[in-house]
Structure 1
């Protein structure tokens, strides 16, 4: 196999691709304690794979995880989680056995820049070793959007004040484990099958398999060095050390002379090709990559991102730092969703970190799906198809728990089984029972709502009547079996349940859950009545396939009519759950420097479940989703009541309070909530960015802008409504959406007027 880059790689040609500052997230000072945060912030994804923003030479504090969307494994853990795969990023430079690295040398200059317009991580260093030798290293890496099996890295190395031989080591590390810095949770999800040369000529190749289901994954790489476009890498040596694959070579250098080091990476799995052909495909991918050339590949990659941004960008005429933060959230969201694969979804941390195991929650339907439905409907379709593909698993889950219909798992991976652990292990080793999966059932209503919302926004009736209607029927059946008739009160209740506020569990009659269950029951009946009138043949087919009957329809109506909805006597305030008003009442009065609520002193005396303080939007979330069921006065009263009692212990909360606050006229606070949401990860406001980007929050930020300040809605008839409510200081807001098959550019203005153009 002959491998060479056909393009003369010049530093200026690559650097010319860097975006303007409004799309750049900088790291201008190296602090090892900040490594894990920046690894999340600077993670690269291309819908197929994701790799964290770790340093190529390695650092003491690092979780250098490499994921492929949909590759899960359980092994000794308590859930199927994204399996971290062999990390192919390793590049190390040595001079006389001394590593030229940020933790091994004096840092004279340091800058990493995350280019969210082009999906490129830039790096620029000047390092001085123990003998005073100074080396400049500049370059970048990307996960190709044009060819999703490829990752490319280039570093331009210049010895500033010395001549000599640079030794370069290219590594693929197959020893990486999940939860590498958490002793109680460490696990190795793969078995190394092959550790060998990519070809007789050069390169590294590691093939592993997941331990539970023996799914094969192959990771290959090849490194070369160029001076003025000509390969100058000396003799290569390949070594395998257990699960590490190393290729070594050297280059003669002179002071002031620039050498371009390029690493080409490719990955395939058994989900892509037959397992016996994985290496062949990896090898061909790298060969094609090198023949095409690094520069052409990265240019094509940038063009693909340009297409994405052409649809997804949000432009605010001022407020530049906020606009950058909004774009940051959009970048990570749109980099993960797949337009080609309906067997995968979007994890709560995208592909940027291991928290929650890459699992799908209600986050997808209520926080992310609206963005994709309006901006990338082809991705949205795969997200709802994912739920349909796992409908049978949801029905099995309901049956296992003693219910009818379909009960979607609180946490879903690749096969639709419940992945939420039954026990939680604390840092001190103690265990306690985790009841989330047992009681937090509102995810099934969220899935149903997602079908409704997707159809309303996209007008995709083909999906609705061929797939979506079956989800709606089976989730309605679940709720009908979940509701308990209380003869004494002549009403239906949902007892022992947990709503969005997870600090109070379990409770009876969480009003959010009861309302959404009722909505699910009534919406199915209404859509079936419409179908019976408009297309009796299809109606009969649906009823025959689901064994649904008029008697069952009447039962759904009867339950919906009598489901209990707790409320404060004589007032508009909904009671979050039965007995909530009997708790010790307390409100939030102080906020920190980031405008985040400070926990009241009462929590030093009482546990939070004994108080009226709540984790996140619960009743207010209900007011957001089912706005038409409440008067403006009811929404306002409930917003003000619960806003004072919400500590926003979940990233899902601030965006919802922003939108609902805006609808109640609390524009100033709505803007403050937007800023909290937009900067949650960039400022590490919840102190857990190290674990990955908050995906639902990213979708929520988009919703605040489009549904909140721009006032966009699609009504149940599919008509577009725009009612801007712009914040003070914004003169113009521009974004794009799809509506009725048309691509629209929308501008809203400071006088709350707007303009729509079809493009």
Structure 2
């Protein structure tokens, strides 16, 4: 299915003003780590960052964060006695490309030095998908006169997280063309071993030296070139941590010892094959819209680059492994927005991501206890242990003398149901009974226990209520009876009872074990049923309109169109309290609910709620999570052109920085939502008793849409043509 079009992300000019955005876009990764797209040489304002899954350490205010690993990219060049820098001399030509087919990042530069010497340089790098501990660089240099080249390859442990340092130095060493470094995080005590090897091919009178600088051991190679000569410099780095081995330093050094003298070609070949297998499982083809096609593939690449294949104790944060936004913390973004892509294309990865929630179940139980509830309450922001790591206060964006109270970690409780929804979706799609029996069921039962203890009886309404919460729409906090939260709580309680019935029928020993360990009796199950049946729900019987939360219809009415054009979010324009008092939404909870629980909406109800909330949503500057879901529901109400507008708003969020914050990292949830919009929106995929079926709703200029899924262990490919040219389905 792989075609040759729309695979390359290209940058044709060097611009320091946009370098942080470009660093995000040119992030590479292999599911073990991710590295932002900084250059080999250094520039002011850069954010040279590599994040390794699971390597968290304490930090003030935000509790914990992914730690910036040692800098493996550092490779400075002295060409003919002059330092290579794009801020000096003259750039004769420049092009940087990320090849999404194989994760190869390359940069071709023709440069004239300040003294007039001309050079042609090709920089290449990749993070091996075959051996995720290996990081590979190559620089090919062509001289146009007799001259010298000096390359300095540093393995720098003197890295920081935006000026906060996490590493303690333990040791280092040098051996001919190899160097190694041994570090440990200051609070979490995670050890890291890093080793680098530098080899050079070409030139004459080759000389190797090394500098044993503390925390920055450096390998230096010099060679002489004649006019027209080419030299290749190869730098291979290995990373291991104590999360994988008791001897990370030794493991890193041994990983390099096993490589041949010239390793690039062999490593690249196996790496490219591994990426080809990934794309064969999940590529999407769009004919008739190159811009959208490239944006979709870019989004899928970033998800695949962050997807843990060997580790089931980590998950994907809101910014994947591409930036400092949210400090690497895991949100509902993973389960609701990213996970379906993996569930239906790479279920092995989906299982790992869901297993992370199982392994952090004790953290969720701790949060429930601390809040006075039973069962498991998943953290709004989660890291290594599953304990709550949402910051309580953050600095004001414009007045650094003030702090803003963050309430999401206290009262945004819907995530516990979201985790269960993702488990259920995975189980239905894969038939993985083993996972549900030995991991998923325990999560379901403990989360149901939380919802039953969190529910509040209101004698006046005769309902169980959930008051003082935040729904997905974060413009409104401290609200009562949020429609999304209440509906998902009701679904979770009811489904937990079904899971227990299934478990007792298929795995009676496991069911009995869970009943004992959780001290689950019939009286508690009876309460779950009662709460589920009587959860507050408000819907206008005359037109089917669902109130997003109690009192929403009485909020201040604002005409969004009257505020256009604008370059800020409604919350920025009105302030936090002003937005809370208005009827404008960061993202529409009811539309999100219609996507997840379509059985609650008939055709009329779906349309009236979509149109009502669509007109009141801050699409451009609100949540990046909303547009893709809007696109899906717009397709379901027969509005493909409107769906396409929403879809492109999501698809270009990072590539074109439509929200102005892509420098913080990839919008990973939006990336996952884009795939869902393609498959469940424009493709109209439905799962029926006789298997998956499509009901396409393609934009008028799309000639063809092709995608693949796996369902119940079977591969399916759907090849959909625009009705104007006929429909093909496979």
TM-score (norm 1): 0.91
**Mapped pair 1:178 → 2:171:** no
**Preserved contact between residue 149 and residue 268 of structure 1 (Cα < 8 Å):** yes
Label 1:688 to 1:426 Cα distance change in 2 as closer, same or farther (>3 A): same
Equivalent residue, structure 1, for 2:73: 89
**Preserved contact between residue 121 and residue 141 of structure 2 (Cα < 8 Å):** yes
Tell me by how many angstroms 1:527 deviates.
2.9
**Preserved contact between residue 66 and residue 327 of structure 2 (Cα < 8 Å):** yes
Tell me by how many angstroms 1:535 deviates.
6.0
Tell me by how many angstroms 1:451 deviates.
0.9
Q: Select the residue among 120, 138, 151 that pairs with 1:168.
A: 151
Equivalent residue, structure 2, for 1:15: none
* Cα distance in 2 for residues equivalent to 1:572 and 1:64: 52
- Give runs of ≥4 in structure 1 deviating > 6 Å: 590-593, 595-598
Equivalent residue, structure 1, for 2:251: 281
* Cα distance in 1 for residues equivalent to 2:260 and 2:559: 62
**Preserved contact between residue 195 and residue 237 of structure 2 (Cα < 8 Å):** yes
Tell me by how many angstroms 1:730 deviates.
2.2
* Cα distance in 2 for residues equivalent to 1:79 and 1:534: 42
Q: Select the residue among 408, 419, 436 that pairs with 2:408.
A: 436
Alignment of 1:600-619 (within 5 A): 603=574, 607-619=578-590
Label 1:108 to 1:544 Cα distance change in 2 as closer, same or farther (>3 A): same
Tell me by how many angstroms 1:714 deviates.
2.7
Equivalent residue, structure 2, for 1:682: 655
Equivalent residue, structure 1, for 2:481: 509
Tell me by how many angstroms 1:530 deviates.
4.3
Label 1:233 to 1:371 Cα distance change in 2 as closer, same or farther (>3 A): farther
Tell me by how many angstroms 1:542 deviates.
3.7
> Cα deviation per residue 1:554-601 (whole Å; 9 max; x = unaligned)?
1111111211113357432111111111111123227989x9997599
Equivalent residue, structure 2, for 1:702: 675
Tell me by how many angstroms 1:91 deviates.
1.0
**Mapped pair 1:652 → 2:653:** no
**Preserved contact between residue 597 and residue 647 of structure 1 (Cα < 8 Å):** no
| Structure 2: runs of 5+ lacking an equivalent | none
Equivalent residue, structure 1, for 2:98: 114
* Cα distance in 1 for residues equivalent to 2:623 and 2:217: 41
Label 1:681 to 1:464 Cα distance change in 2 as closer, same or farther (>3 A): same
Q: Select the residue among 27, 38, 44 that pairs with 1:43.
A: 27
**Preserved contact between residue 590 and residue 598 of structure 1 (Cα < 8 Å):** no
* Cα distance in 2 for residues equivalent to 1:416 and 1:203: 39
Equivalent residue, structure 2, for 1:10: none
Q: Select the residue among 380, 395, 412 that pairs with 2:350.
A: 380
Equivalent residue, structure 1, for 2:604: 633
* Cα distance in 1 for residues equivalent to 2:715 and 2:577: 53
State the SS of the aligned residue for 1:88: coil
* Cα distance in 1 for residues equivalent to 2:452 and 2:262: 59
* Cα distance in 1 for residues equivalent to 2:617 and 2:205: 60
Tell me by how many angstroms 1:202 deviates.
2.5
**Preserved contact between residue 59 and residue 65 of structure 2 (Cα < 8 Å):** no
Q: Select the residue among 398, 411, 415 that pairs with 2:385.
A: 415
> Cα deviation per residue 1:374-422 (whole Å; 9 max; x = unaligned)?
1001001111111111112211110111111100000111111111011
* Cα distance in 1 for residues equivalent to 2:68 and 2:205: 31
**Preserved contact between residue 7 and residue 99 of structure 2 (Cα < 8 Å):** yes
Label 1:344 to 1:36 Cα distance change in 2 as closer, same or farther (>3 A): same
**Mapped pair 1:192 → 2:169:** yes
**Preserved contact between residue 76 and residue 187 of structure 1 (Cα < 8 Å):** no
**Preserved contact between residue 207 and residue 223 of structure 2 (Cα < 8 Å):** no
Tell me by how many angstroms 1:212 deviates.
0.8
**Preserved contact between residue 155 and residue 261 of structure 1 (Cα < 8 Å):** yes
Q: Select the residue among 564, 573, 592 that pairs with 1:621.
A: 592
Deviates more, 1:286-295 or 1:504-513: 286-295
Tell me by how many angstroms 1:544 deviates.
3.0
Equivalent residue, structure 2, for 1:454: 426
* Cα distance in 2 for residues equivalent to 1:233 and 1:511: 74
**Mapped pair 1:473 → 2:476:** no
State the SS of the aligned residue for 2:63: coil
> Cα deviation per residue 1:144-190 (whole Å; 9 max; x = unaligned)?
11111111111111122x322222111122221102xxxxxx31111
Alignment of 1:165-314 (within 5 A): 165-179=148-162, 186-197=163-174, 199=175, 201-227=176-202, 234-275=206-247, 278-291=248-261, 293-314=263-284
Tell me by how many angstroms 1:97 deviates.
4.2
State the SS of the aligned residue for 1:748: strand
Deviates more, 1:123-132 or 1:241-250: 241-250
Label 1:568 to 1:588 Cα distance change in 2 as closer, same or farther (>3 A): farther
Alignment of 1:514-533 (within 5 A): 514-532=486-504
Tell me by how many angstroms 1:662 deviates.
1.0
> Cα deviation per residue 1:457-506 (whole Å; 9 max; x = unaligned)?
11111111221111111111111111100112221110110000111111
Q: Select the residue among 312, 317, 329 that pairs with 1:342.
A: 312
Tell me by how many angstroms 1:756 deviates.
5.7
Tell me by how many angstroms 1:732 deviates.
2.1
**Preserved contact between residue 81 and residue 148 of structure 2 (Cα < 8 Å):** no
Tell me by how many angstroms 1:675 deviates.
1.0
**Preserved contact between residue 151 and residue 221 of structure 2 (Cα < 8 Å):** yes
**Preserved contact between residue 303 and residue 668 of structure 2 (Cα < 8 Å):** yes
Label 1:234 to 1:354 Cα distance change in 2 as closer, same or farther (>3 A): same
Tell me by how many angstroms 1:23 deviates.
0.6
Cα RMSD, aligned residues only:
2.3
| Structure 1: runs of 5+ lacking an equivalent | 1-18, 180-185
Label 1:232 to 1:143 Cα distance change in 2 as closer, same or farther (>3 A): farther
Tell me by how many angstroms 1:309 deviates.
0.6
State the SS of the aligned residue for 1:348: coil
Label 1:212 to 1:61 Cα distance change in 2 as closer, same or farther (>3 A): same
* Cα distance in 1 for residues equivalent to 2:187 and 2:317: 21
* Cα distance in 1 for residues equivalent to 2:672 and 2:572: 33
Label 1:66 to 1:92 Cα distance change in 2 as closer, same or farther (>3 A): same
State the SS of the aligned residue for 2:384: coil
Label 1:340 to 1:602 Cα distance change in 2 as closer, same or farther (>3 A): closer
Equivalent residue, structure 2, for 1:29: 13
* Cα distance in 1 for residues equivalent to 2:407 and 2:379: 13
**Mapped pair 1:153 → 2:130:** no
Equivalent residue, structure 2, for 1:7: none
**Preserved contact between residue 438 and residue 510 of structure 2 (Cα < 8 Å):** no
